[in-house]
Amino acid sequence: MADAGLRRRLEEVVGARIFQEGRLPVGFGLIGLSAQLADGRKVAVKARARGVDADLTLEAYMLEELSRQSALPVPRVLFAAPDLLVMDFIETDGGGITPGVERHAAELIAGLHATPRASFGYERDTLIGPLPQENPLSDRWIPFFRDHRLMAMARKAHAEGSLPAPLLARIDHLAERLEAFLLEPLHPSLLHGDLWTGNVLVRGGRVAGFVDPAIYCGHPEIELAFGTMFGTFGRAFFEHYESVLPLEPGFHEVRCGIYNLYPGLVHVRLFGAGYLDGVDSTLGRLGF
């Protein structure tokens, strides 16, 4: 439960007494709470633990951008400071991602991707989990993905000691040939950026909300690839998505694996060597 100091601060921020509280699952050194307020409201809270330097105003910024620029259901930000984020609580019923949920998610994500954006990247850098994500405004997708996603994450993983030099060399070799594998999209699309099961909230067989974004403008295919990485979305999702926005041939066979090298490297940095096998096998399938 929240310590007395955090509880007092929350009550000051929301302007009401906390009637009941519980834990929410969050990682990366953050404290997650749900709080039922005496005035009937319920809020979700993220707070920085001692010794953690994450800036929660960046998460608030990303949620507010998704709310401002799309129809995605996301929690409304009530208060944001570097060490504290308070949001509306999104009720769930514990339901899993059924084919019906997949179809609803596909409708929402296709709507997000269908709107043309001006440039790849974003007006400011963002985060994926706790890791910085650089977003210089760019005219072409493939160089952006190569330089500011794939190689940026690989070099940081190597510098930190989590990615061995031989794997870095193989990724670098692939990066030199990305133009032979990837496609430029019709236009940049705003992406949620971290589309996996834990960030999709479900209620009544529908998507109740998307949380923990890692936004930028990019190729929709990198978002769709991430949705397959942990089995979040399958056939029902892709059939419905492609009825709205058809995919070019070769996505599932080749490009999906290339794009999942990026979140794979994120997981290498955050969680260690257990994710190296996935990077190694993807590179091997591609002949690198």
List, for the chain, all residue ranges whose pLDDT scores fall below the cut of 50: none
Minimal CA–CA distance to 179: which of 145, 213, 151? 145
pLDDT digits (tens, 9 = 90+) for 14-38: 999 998 888 888 878 889 999 999 9
243 vs 67: CA distance, rounded Å: 25
Q: What's the CA gap between 153 and 267, in Å, rounded?
A: 10
Residue 2: predicted pLDDT: 66
Of 13, 17, 95, 94, residue with least CA distance to 47 = 13
**Per-residue pLDDT tens over the stretch 207-232:** 999 999 999 999 999 999 999 999 99
What is the C-alpha to C-alpha distance for residues 114 and 102, in angstroms, rounded to an integer?
Answer: 18
pLDDT of the residue at 227: 95
Q: Of 39, 55, 194, 212, which one is the catalytic site residue?
A: 194
Told to judge if 3 belongs to the known catalytic residues of this protein, a careful annotator would answer: no
- Residue 117, number of CB atoms within 10 A of its CB: 17
Cβ–Cβ under 8 Å, residues 110 and 42 = no
Question: Which residues 6+ apart lie within 8 Å of 247 measured at CB?
Answer: 221, 224, 238, 241
Q: Please, what are the domains in the chain?
A: 4-88 (3.30.200.20), 99-285 (3.90.1200.10)
